[in-house]
Amino acid sequence: MRWKCEAAYDGTEYAGWQSQPNGNAVQDFIERRLAVIFERPVRIHGAGRTDSGVHARGQVFHFDGDWPHGAARLLVALRVGFPRSLQIISVEHVGASFHARLSAVGKRYRYAYYAGHASPFEYRYYWSLGRRSPDVEAMNRGAAHLIGEHDFSAFGANPRDGRRESPVKTLRKLVVTQDGRRIFLETEGSGYLYRMVRSLAGCLLDVGIGKLRPEQVGEILASRQRTSLVATAPADGLSLEKVFYPEMADASVPPDRAVIESEP
């Protein structure tokens, strides 16, 4: 039996998503709980790997395990024993062809800036800009150069695990909005290179404060070369909001899905 799950977490105190020798990654906490439930080691497969300090509202993972009691009881079992910073939102029985990473057709990320110094209740979710007050309109003019299908090599970084992927991605949305001192970059695309969203956030901030011209974003993109002109924004402000999948009807699998009443 294959189970698709959605998790939310505050990444501040975790060593990222991927399992680590120190056992302090999000994956480690979930796998330890599953080992208790199933009384054997259970490996999970995530939709993507968030770095240390990066948050998620909609991280998706799957695992295989025989559980005859239905999704609702599995969700209850999974919501026991985690730190308050990690929560399972939903559990769904899916067909064997589903894969959290390979079946995904897109992702949505949000990056949050604070024009000033964020309060102690918010600082871990924002990049506090201090005295810098970016021009959001200029940031959006720079972002316009990135919409569509492009080679985003100039905004990627070499992944630590050495895994290679195509640098050609399609951005369907990249927009910056402002609500008082809070500034949000939201992006949706077919996929993202390692640290690509944080690179976009850093580059567009430099446009907003006048360090780069909006049209330079297009020039950097066209170069396909990572340079010092592209700054990497801190992890604190980044959140994986949603992973998108095609409608995958499987008549052999009856509908069986459980969701917590109040999602984060």
Under a CB-based contact definition with an 8 Å cutoff, are residues 178 and 252 in contact?
no
pLDDT band at 30 (very low <50, low <70, confident <90, very high): very high
Residue-level pLDDT at 61: 98
Report domain extents, the chain. Answer: 2-103+245-259, 107-241
Q: Dump pLDDT digits (tens) for 51-81.
A: 999 999 999 999 999 999 999 999 999 999 8
Catalytic residue list contains 135: no
Considering only CA atoms, which of 235, 244, 245 is closest in space to residue 9? 235
Compute the distance between CA of residue 123 and CA of residue 114 in angstroms, rounded to an integer. 9
Q: Which residue is catalytic, options 28, 51, 179, 206? A: 51
Joined tokens for residue 249 = 């009807």
Instruction: Lowest mean pLDDT of 142-146, 163-167, 180-184, name the range.
Output: 163-167
Instruction: Lowest mean pLDDT of 68-77, 155-164, 238-247, 252-261, name the range.
Output: 252-261
Residue-level pLDDT at 257: 79
Which amino acid, 113? Y
What lies within 8 Å, CB to CB, of 56 at 6+ separation is 7, 8, 9, 11, 17, 50, 239, 240, 241
DSSP at 13:
G
Joined tokens for residue 128 = 């506090």
Q: Is 231 exposed, middle or buried (0-12, 13-18, 19+ CB in 10 A)?
A: middle
Which amino acid, 160? R
Q: Dump pLDDT digits (tens) for 149-175.
A: 999 999 998 876 666 789 999 999 999
pLDDT band at 254 (very low <50, low <70, confident <90, very high): low
Compute the distance between CA of residue 260 and CA of residue 81 in angstroms, rounded to an integer. 16
Residue-level pLDDT at 161: 61
Residue-level pLDDT at 258: 73
Question: Domain 107-241, what fold?
Answer: Alpha-Beta Plaits (3.30.70)
pLDDT at 261 exceeding the cut of 80: no
Compute the distance between CA of residue 129 and CA of residue 205 in angstroms, rounded to an integer. 10
Residue-level pLDDT at 235: 97
Regarding predicted confidence, which is higher, 248 or 181? Answer: 181
Which CATH number, 3.30.70.580, 1.20.1250.20, 3.30.1510.10, 1.10.10.1200, labels domain 2-103+245-259? 3.30.70.580
pLDDT at 25 exceeding the cut of 80: yes
Q: Dump pLDDT digits (tens) for 191-233.
A: 999 999 999 999 999 999 999 999 999 999 999 999 999 999 9
2-103+245-259 shares its CATH topology with 107-241? yes
pLDDT at 251 exceeding the cut of 60: no
Q: Dump pLDDT digits (tens) for 82-134.
A: 999 999 999 999 999 999 999 999 999 999 999 999 999 999 999 999 999 99
